[in-house]
Amino acid sequence: MRLEDEHPTLFRQLHPTRNAGIDPGSVTNSSNEMVWWLCPAGHEWRETPLQRRSDMMWKQSDIYACLYCVAPGCTVHSCGHRRFQSGKDSIFRVLAHPCDKCELTEHARLVLDAHADAAPAAIGVLESSALYALFCSRGSEVVEWWDKIFPLVEAYFVRMLCVYVAIDTVQFRLRRKWTEPVVLGACMRRIVKELPRNTHQEMYSVVPADAGHFRQHYMPEIQPSEIVRALTRVGFDVLDTALGIDIENRVQFFEQQHFSGNGVLPPTTFEGRHYPTFDHISFDREKGAASRLQQFRPMEFVQRTTAVRLTLGDSAPADADDPLGRDYIGYAPDLTPEQLWERARGMWKLRADYAAASSIALVVVERRVVMVASISGVTFHRGALAIAGNPMPDHPLMGRPDPLHTPNPLAHGTFDQGQVP
Q: Is the pLDDT reported for residue 98 higher than 90?
A: no
**pLDDT at position 260 over 60:** no
Peptide bond into 347 cis (omega under 30): yes
Which phi-psi region, left, alpha or beta, contains residue 120 (left: φ > 0; alpha: ψ -120 to 50)? alpha
- Judge whether residue 216 has pLDDT over 60: no
Q: Could you give the CA distance from residue 8 to residue 28 in angstroms, rounded to a whole number?
A: 12
Instruction: Pick left, alpha or beta for residue 203 (phi over 0 → left; psi -120 to 50 → alpha; otherwise beta).
Output: alpha
**Least confident stretch, 14-23, 64-73, 376-385:** 64-73
Q: Which of 143-152, 176-185, 361-370, 396-405 has the lowest mean pLDDT?
A: 143-152
| pLDDT the model gives residue 276 | 40
What pLDDT shows up at residue 280?
36
Q: Which residue has the higher pLDDT, 195 or 257?
A: 195
Residue 99 has pLDDT above 50, yes or no: yes
Per-residue confidence (pLDDT) for residue 421, from 0 to 100: 60
In this prediction, residue 256 carries a pLDDT of 44
pLDDT in tens, 334-379: 899 999 999 999 889 888 888 888 889 999 999 899 999 999 888 9
**pTM: predicted TM-score of the whole model, two decimal places:** 0.53
When pLDDT is averaged across residues 290-308 and rounded to a whole number, the result is 74
pLDDT of residue 65: 78
Contact 86, 73 (CB under 8 A): yes
- 237 vs 245, residue with greater confidence: 237
- Give the mean pLDDT of 65-77: 72
Q: Is the pLDDT of residue 241 over 60?
A: no
HEC-encoded secondary structure of the chain: CEHHHHCHHHHCCECCCCCCCCCHHHCECCCCCCEEEECCCCCEEEECHHHHCCCCHHHCCCCCCCHHHHCCCEEECCCCCEEECCCCCCCCEECCCCCHHHHHHHHHHHHHHHHCCCHHHHHHHHHCCHHHHHHHHHHHHHCCCHHHHHHHHHHHHHHHHHHHHHHHHHHCCCCCCCCHHHHHHHHHHHHHCCCCHHHHHHHHCCCECCCCCCECCECCCCCHHHHHHHHHHCCCCCCCCCCCCCHHHHHHHHHCCCCCCCCCCCCCCCCCCCCCCCCCCCCCHHHHHHHHCCCCCECCCCCEEEEEEEECCECEECCCCCCCCCCEECECCCCCHHHHHHHHCCCECCCHHHHHHCCEEEEEECCEEEEEEECCEEEEECCEEEEECCECCCCCCCCCECCCCCCCCEEEEEEEHHHCC
